[in-house]
Amino acid sequence: MSPKYQPVIGLEVHAVLETRSKMFCDCPVVDSTHEQPNVAVCPVCAGMPGMLPVVNRSAVDYALRVALALNCEIHNTSIFARKSYFYPDLPKGFQISQYEQPLATKGWVMVETTEGEQRVGIRRVHMEEDTGKLTHVVKDGQRYSLVDLNRSGVPLLEIVTEPELHSVEAARNCAYTLRSILRYLGVNSGNLEKGLLRIEPNISNRPLGILEFATRVEIKNLNSFRSLERAVSYELARQEALVEKGGVVKQQTLGWDDTRGTTVPQRSKEYAEDYRYLPEPDLPPLVVDPAWVEATRAALPELPHAKRRRFIQDYGLSGYDAGVLVAERETAEFFEAVVMAAKVADAKQTANWITGNLFGLMNEAGTSVTDLLFGPADLAKLLDLVATGELNPAGARQVLAELFAKGGKPAQIVKKHGLKQVSDAKLLRNWVAKALDGNPEQVADYAAGNQPVFNWLFGQVMQTSKGKANPNRLRAELERQLAERSPEGGIR
């Protein structure tokens, strides 16, 4: 970014609260990207005449968890309001939301950036209902739209941050942190692609040294963190170029075209700017009594930020490793379970194996910790075998690959493939002698000062041992024999 401007970014996040039933009726919450249209619909969420909303207590409970995790002030009495506009995916002609008295306000969240930790303000957290979904089709030359109300009335949580993010990285990390928190709380699976989590940044650029905010734009329909980053970068650059040319940024809602990599003005959904908010007369004020708040607070899990801090402190992990491990609650819990079960292997080694080899396998397969065919105790056993020298790293990787692919017990896999590390001095001596006898040129090269040849020779012996040789002992034996054969008695 140009040093002339400071990016000012806020996030508006809509998270589906993945409760069993909808916000105001008994209909189940289904995956509206997969389910047949209009299978989870009743007269209430279809906006039939005479139907009334009734608040789903469990949605309030979910919302409360998030509000507390974001350190918000909880309003013991909040008010639902009707937000009116006409659109075919909105069956009642209004969306029940919260407006003047939301569930919670004035919170904050800690966000990591390369420049350190930043406390980002949360302006408000409120509940509302989702709309249905339109599919536009052309058939026999006729253009028309189909309405699917499976999503209509699904509980949504809206989280609005203060415009306190000043870089693409900060915006992305804030979004990621919020997602992580939602997942930790078990209220949202964090899927952007399916629209379960929708992140809408508002973006402006202000000249450095100016306190006032410049005109902002909002970007909708970002279905990945990658597109979030790209869209914010693009928009900051576009606004800067526009202003530099003497242009004026227009306040508007933009969409993101991922293929072309540009923002595009959105076809306006609201034909009136005026939502004519009205306190929802069908619902009494929502009362969340202090006992409910305290019980929810007490039941909150350890959140990623606190967990990360603890991992650094208790396990001596690097900030980076700790961050990677706590990003997903399941990974963090898996890590801790391995550490608990391991008798010899230490936490740092465990972290390395998980973030390195195991993540590699999971990325390749596109799976996550919850899909693993083995438990933390199995990985602990494997790492113990490495730590005690019974298994060398190469063998251990082979065992891990098999655990990952088929499951099983590490000791049995080691036995089955004869992977137990060989530390027997006589055997090592013979293998090394054989390798050196068979490669006199390389031995001579080494003696002449070509050090990398050492590794090649090491590899030869390892191959002979089928990877089972204890690498440290092998290294020592190889060094010893090479020195013996060196005219100058070794070149160290």
Partner 1 sequence: MSELHSLNVASALKGLRSGAFSSRELTAAYLQRIEQLNPRLNVFLYVAADSALKAATAADKKLSKSRKTKAKLPPLLGLPIAIKDVLTVAGIPATAGSRILEGFVPSYNATSVQRLLDAGAVILGKTNTDEFAMGSSTENSAYGVVRNPWDEERVPGGSSGGSAAAVAAGLAPVALGTDTGGSVRQPAALCGLTGLKTTYGRVSRYGLIAFGSSLDTVGILARSAQDAAILLNVMAGYDPLDATTLESKAPKVKLDGKATVKGLKIGVPKEYFIEGVQAEVAKGVREAIAHLEGLGAQVREISLPHTEYALPVYYIIAPAEASANLARFDGVRYGLRVEDQNLIDMFSRTRGQGFGPEVKRRLMIGTYALSAGYYDAYYGQAQKVRTLIRRDFEQAFEQVDLIAAPATPSTAFRIGAHTGNPLEMYLEDVFTLPASLAGVPGLSLPAGFDHQGLPLSLQLLGPHFSEERLLQVGHAYQQITDWHTMLPMDLLKA
For partner 1, the binding residues (CB under 8 A) are 43, 46-55, 82, 84, 86, 88, 91-94, 147, 271, 273-274, 276-278, 281-284
CB of 93 to partner 1, least distance (A): 2
> Nearer Cβ to partner 1, position 93 or 440?
93
Q: What residue type is assigned to position 29 of the chain?
A: V
CB of 101 to partner 1, least distance (A): 14
Q: What distance in Å separates the CA atoms of residue 68 and residue 70, rounded to the nearest whole number? A: 5
CB of 89 to partner 1, least distance (A): 9
Handedness of CA 399, 404, 406, 410 (dihedral sign): positive
Measured from the Cβ of residue 20, the count of other Cβ atoms closer than 10 Å reads 11
CA distances for 363 relative to 191, 354, 369, angstroms: 17, 12, 11
Residues 6+ apart with CB under 8 A from 74: 64, 67, 68, 103, 104, 288, 293
CB of 49 to partner 1, least distance (A): 4
CA 108 to chain centre: 19
> Nearer Cβ to partner 1, position 52 or 298?
52
CB of 270 to partner 1, least distance (A): 12
CB of 54 to partner 1, least distance (A): 5
> Nearer Cβ to partner 1, position 95 or 167?
95
> Nearer Cβ to partner 1, position 273 or 364?
273
Measured from the Cβ of residue 166, the count of other Cβ atoms closer than 10 Å reads 17
Q: What distance in Å separates the CA atoms of residue 339 and residue 85, rounded to the nearest whole number? A: 55
> Nearer Cβ to partner 1, position 50 or 452?
50
Measured from the Cβ of residue 79, the count of other Cβ atoms closer than 10 Å reads 18
CA 409 to chain centre: 30
- From the list 216, 180, 233, 224, the residue with the least C-alpha distance to 198 is 224
> Nearer Cβ to partner 1, position 209 or 281?
281
278: which 2 tokens? Answer: 């009205």
CB of 60 to partner 1, least distance (A): 13
> Nearer Cβ to partner 1, position 243 or 288?
288
Residue pair 257/263 in contact (Cβ under 8 Å)? The answer is yes
Q: What distance in Å separates the CA atoms of residue 160 and residue 105, rounded to the nearest whole number? A: 9
> Nearer Cβ to partner 1, position 1 or 283?
283
CB of 275 to partner 1, least distance (A): 8
CA 24 to chain centre: 30
